[in-house]
Structure 1
């Protein structure tokens, strides 16, 4: 993760250098604020990646003598298909639509359906075909 920390760090430095230049050329509060927040966000990610890179074993891609074969093996758990994200998105859509149309009864229905669907999404791997 050292390479990723360097990439984010260089980008944070670039945005931090560009921000004052943007302010002096454009005198735009909105863009300057967005650039400041972008620099802070990249700095935060840089600190996170640097913190974890110093405390974990180096990955094959982080070592100078790393080979492609060193990265072979199990990479982790990748879930199979799931319909729950679709229902979560539809429940959120109902909530947003109800809010935009000031139909509070629709918002209440959306939150009720959303609570049930979120529980189904969270506990998806505790029952059924893919339980473990």
Structure 2
């Protein structure tokens, strides 16, 4: 994870340098400037910073992985990789309820937004608690 954190840190530093330069160049070149590009670069900078902090935080808590060591071999990474959940229908229902909520906001139908919120709560609970019951219960 340390290598990944460094990659995102370098990207963050690059974007911290490029974003003000882009803003300055576009502001000087036209009367109104380009707020769309500047906003996109700012949000990209914050996104890479967020990923850098997340990976850096978890890299400190983890033991060294074979790919993080200079003397690591391919065989060192053999074995169980972790738990991967089987198929699930709950992400589909969560996405559909989010679609209903966005459609309701676009159409101004607040009653439909409330229905979407209730169905979204049910879908989120189903997604969270799917491994507590049924054939894949722990």
TM-score tier by shorter-chain length is 0.7 to 0.9
Structure 2 vs 1, CA of residues 23 and 103 (structure 1 numbering), >3 Å: closer, same or farther? closer
Report SS of the residue matched to 2:136. coil
Distance 1:36 1:53 in 2: 26
Distance 2:23 2:117 in 1: 43
Match of 2:20 in 1: 20
TM-score by length of 1: 0.85
Alignment of structure 1 residues 52-67 onto 2, 5 Å:
52-67=58-73
Match of 1:11 in 2: 11
Deviates more, 1:37-46 or 1:89-98: 37-46
Distance 1:98 1:20 in 2: 38
Structure 2 vs 1, CA of residues 47 and 103 (structure 1 numbering), >3 Å: closer, same or farther? closer
Alignment of structure 1 residues 61-76 onto 2, 5 Å:
61-76=67-82
Deviates more, 1:6-15 or 1:36-45: 36-45
Report SS of the residue matched to 1:125. coil
Q: Which runs of 5+ in 2 are unaligned?
A: 28-33
Distance 1:16 1:82 in 2: 40
Match of 2:31 in 1: none
Match of 1:113 in 2: 119
| CA root-mean-square deviation | 1.9
Match of 1:85 in 2: 91
TM-score by length of 2: 0.82
Q: What's the offset of the Cα at 1:110?
A: 1.6
- Alpha-carbon deviations, 1:71-111, whole Å to 9, x = none? 11111110000111111111122222222222222222222
Distance 1:115 1:43 in 2: 30
Structure 2 vs 1, CA of residues 126 and 68 (structure 1 numbering), >3 Å: closer, same or farther? same
Query: How many pairs were matched up?
Result: 132
Match of 1:100 in 2: 106
